[in-house]
């Protein structure tokens, strides 16, 4: 909580205390409810002592944590069994990531809420998290390479392909996984030539902003792989 001294701004005038974000539950457990975060840390889980307690066997006792980092908020997966997803992308356990106004957070398969933060500001430190290499803004479906936005934007299919590869960095993504992501309703399988063409087009688009690094690799007979640039 801010002290009176903290609330004094320029010119000696009192500054209003900032309002904590709200969570608007949009599906699953608690759908339609709105909860305001109390304090600087909010634990979500099955445990009755959690700040937001979700009574489901598919929720870990301590599943996720939302935390204030001063002027922005983060969310972390507390090594849950069924995962935490931000804007449909699963986040890495134990690695806090920034939250922005209107981000959609899914807790396992149990519920989804929208993060509502009227104080949200894009920070320079957050921009630095986008470097080096490729960074995805999945809420707005934008792609940045070395902080430069890829323009014109990727097609829906190209973005979906990049998202699948990006979230399995340095892992081989099989052609079957790619086909399921790009053509989920296809019956009878997808020809490898279609995957080859989609992969080639995406690789060419990334090369427009960074021709010196090969972000996308083919593992013959197995699948594809995304390799992030590690230098500035």
Q: Which domains does the chain have, with CATH numbers?
A: 22-116 (2.60.200.20), 130-226 (1.10.10.10)
pLDDT of residue 137: 77
Q: For the segment 135-176, what is each residue's pLDDT rounded down to a tens digit?
A: 887 767 888 888 788 999 999 999 999 988 988 887 899 988
Q: What is the mean pLDDT of residues 98-111?
A: 91
Residues paired with residue 223 on neighbouring β-strands, in sequence order? 174, 219
pLDDT of residue 49: 97
Whether 150 contacts 56, CB under 8 Å: no
Residue 22 DSSP SS3? strand
pLDDT of residue 226: 93
Global pTM value? 0.50
Q: Tokens representing 10?
A: 């320029």
CA distance 190 to 117: 42
The residue among 82 and 170 whose pLDDT is bigger is 82
Q: For the segment 11-49, what is each residue's pLDDT rounded down to a tens digit?
A: 445 445 678 999 999 999 999 999 999 999 999 999 999
């Amino acid at each position: 909580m801010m002290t009176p001294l903290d609330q004094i701004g320029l010119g000696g005038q009192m500054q209003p205390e900032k309002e904590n974000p709200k969570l608007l539950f949009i599906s699953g457990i608690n759908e339609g409810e709105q909860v305001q975060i109390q304090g600087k840390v909010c634990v979500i889980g099955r445990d009755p002592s959690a700040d937001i307690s979700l009574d489901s066997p598919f929720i870990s006792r301590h599943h996720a944590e939302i935390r204030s980092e001063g002027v922005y908020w983060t969310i972390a997966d507390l090594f849950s069994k069924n995962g935490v997803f931000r804007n449909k992308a699963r986040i890495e356990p134990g690695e806090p990531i920034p939250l922005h106004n209107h981000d959609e957070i899914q807790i396992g398969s149990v519920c989804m809420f929208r993060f509502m933060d009227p104080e949200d500001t894009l920070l320079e430190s957050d921009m630095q998290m986008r470097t080096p290499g490729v960074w995805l803004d999945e809420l707005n479906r934008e792609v940045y390479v070395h902080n430069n936005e890829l323009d014109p934007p990727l097609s829906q299919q190209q973005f979906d392909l990049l998202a699948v590869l990006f979230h399995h960095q340095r892992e081989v993504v099989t052609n079957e996984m790619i086909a399921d992501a790009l053509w989920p309703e296809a019956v009878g399988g997808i020809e490898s030539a279609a995957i080859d063409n989609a992969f080639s087009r995406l690789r060419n688009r990334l090369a427009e902003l960074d021709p010196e690094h090969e972000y996308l690799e083919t593992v013959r007979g197995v699948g594809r792989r995304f390799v992030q640039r590690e230098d500035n």
